[in-house]
Amino acid sequence: MKRVFGQIFGVVLLAGLFSHAALAQTADPTAAANAYVNAPHNWQMWFPEAGSPMQEKIDWLMKYVLWIMAGIVAFVGGLMVYVMLRFNARANKTPALFTHNTLVEVIWIVIPTLLLAVIIVPSISLIYYEADDSNPYMTIDAVGHQWYWEYKYESTPGLDYTSYMIPDDKLQPGDIRRLTVDHPIVVPVGKKIKFNISSTDVLHGFYLPSLGVQRYAIPGTVVTSWTIIPKVGTYYGECNQICGVNHDAMPIEIKAVSMDDYLAWVKVAQANYVMNSFAPNLLSSPMPVNQFADLAVVK
């Protein structure tokens, strides 16, 4: 697992060096985020490395609940193996005929109930933690469209841009197929970011596994969530509610950068992104043609 991580890391580093000449011209203020890439890796068996305090808490509770559950599965499995060995027809020729035992019946009601209580207490505190989106440093509206995301920075008037997946045939070295987008969300590290999630057409899912954020994007209503990213880096997410033919082709990419880099990026972005004045990175093969419907939206 370490080795795979290393490889990804190496590729990313190389790509960073490779594109440095280009960056020098455009002076990409988010370049620092390429140093740490939190993306899934092959044969991964657990959550992504926690990119936010929320994900750390989810990771902890998951381990806590899963260990209790593993204990129950092992206990039941052990009982079954014992019963199969001890009470098979060869080992036990005459079956007993008891059908009741009040004591064990009470025990197997009381103990599971206690275990549930043990699970519910930390679980509820996590729900309250996840729900607390008060006092954000900044708010980003994430709006799902068929099949791209639109990000609107409420604190920066006019900063409103769309984010398309890089299609398979336009991938650059260092891009991750089906995860890298043309215009990622950029946020400052260590600040509380609130997401106002909604949609203009069908349901979408705003899903950031490494940050522990997930909400449906529902037309006609705004659903909120939030995150804090303590570490400079690039984080990924995906649409996670079926939204039509290109459901698998509208990933989310977030770059967390230092406050200075963020402010620099805002300046560049304001110049470039004003009311979607750039050409969208349209999907190409093998996706179907419906994507061109979006051309009309982007002026």
Partner 1 sequence: MSSTTHDDHNTHAAHDAHGEHGHAKPSFVRRWLMSTNHKDIGTLYITSAVIGGCVGGILSMIMRAQLMYPHNHIVSSGTEWNAIITAHGLIMIFWMVMPALIGGFGNWFVPMMIGAPDMAFPRLNNMSFWFLVMGFIFVMLGLLIGDGTGAGWTIYPPLDNAKFSPGIATDFSLFSLHLAGISSLLGAINFIATILNMRAPGMTMHKMPLFCWAILVTAFLLLLAIPVLAGAVTMLIMDRNFGTSFFEPSGGGDPVLFQHLFWFFGHPEVYIMILPAFGIISHVVSTFSKKPVFGYLGMAYAMVIIGFVGFVVWAHHMFISGISTDSRIYFEVATLVIAVPTGIKIFSWIATMWGGSIEFKTPMLWAIGFIFLFVIGGATGVVLANAGLDQELHNDYFLIAHFHYVLSLGAVFAIFAGFYYWIGKMSGHPYPEFWGKVHFWTTFVGVNLTFFPQHFLGLAGMPRRYPDYPDAFAGWNFVSSVGAMISGASTAVFFYILYRIFTSKEKLADNYWGEGATTLEWAVPSPAPHHTFEDVPVIQ
Q: Which of residues 192-231 bind partner 1 (CB under 8 A)?
A: 201-203, 205, 207, 209-210, 212-216, 218-221, 223
Degrees, nearest 5: CA angle 170-144-146 = 60
Q: Of these, 240, 257, 261, 262, which contacts partner 1 (CB under 8 A)?
A: 240
Half-sphere exposure of 90 (CA within 13 A, CB side): 2
- Collapsing DSSP to helix, strand or coil, 244 comes out as coil
Residue of 79, 68, 161 whose CA lies nearest to 112: 68
User: Cβ of residue 50: shortest distance to partner 1, in angstroms?
Assistant: 11
Q: Of these, 9, 10, 41, 259, which contacts partner 1 (CB under 8 A)?
A: 41
d(CA 30, CA 193): 17
Q: Of these, 33, 58, 187, 193, which contacts partner 1 (CB under 8 A)?
A: 58
Degrees, nearest 5: CA angle 221-56-71 = 110
In the chain, the amino acid numbered 138 is M
119 phi-psi bin (left φ>0, alpha ψ -120 to 50, beta other): alpha
Rule CB under 8 A: say whether 288 interacts with partner 1.
yes
Q: Of these, 1, 22, 24, 83, which contacts partner 1 (CB under 8 A)?
A: 83
In the chain, the amino acid numbered 255 is K
DSSP assignment of 255-294, as one string? EEE-HHHHHHHHHHHHHHHGGG-SPP----TTS-GGGGGG
User: Cβ of residue 165: shortest distance to partner 1, in angstroms?
Assistant: 11
- Collapsing DSSP to helix, strand or coil, 109 comes out as helix
Footprint (CB under 8 A) of partner 1, residues 163-192: 168, 176-179
d(CA 254, CA 180): 10
User: Partners of 186 in the beta sheet?
Assistant: 255
Rule CB under 8 A: say whether 126 interacts with partner 1.
yes
User: Cβ of residue 179: shortest distance to partner 1, in angstroms?
Assistant: 5
Place of tokens 């275990």: 115
Q: Given the rule CB under 8 A, which of 9-17, 18-26, 66-74, 154-162 is the region that contacts partner 1?
A: 66-74
The site that binds partner 1 (CB under 8 A) totals a number of residues, namely 96
Rule CB under 8 A: say whether 1 interacts with partner 1.
no
Q: Of these, 6, 158, 173, 244, which contacts partner 1 (CB under 8 A)?
A: 244
Rule CB under 8 A: say whether 134 interacts with partner 1.
no
In the chain, the amino acid numbered 127 is I
Rule CB under 8 A: say whether 157 interacts with partner 1.
no
Rule CB under 8 A: say whether 95 interacts with partner 1.
yes
Rule CB under 8 A: say whether 246 interacts with partner 1.
yes
Rule CB under 8 A: say whether 296 interacts with partner 1.
no
Rule CB under 8 A: say whether 62 interacts with partner 1.
yes
Q: Given the rule CB under 8 A, which of 25-33, 72-80, 154-162, 254-262 is the region that contacts partner 1?
A: 72-80
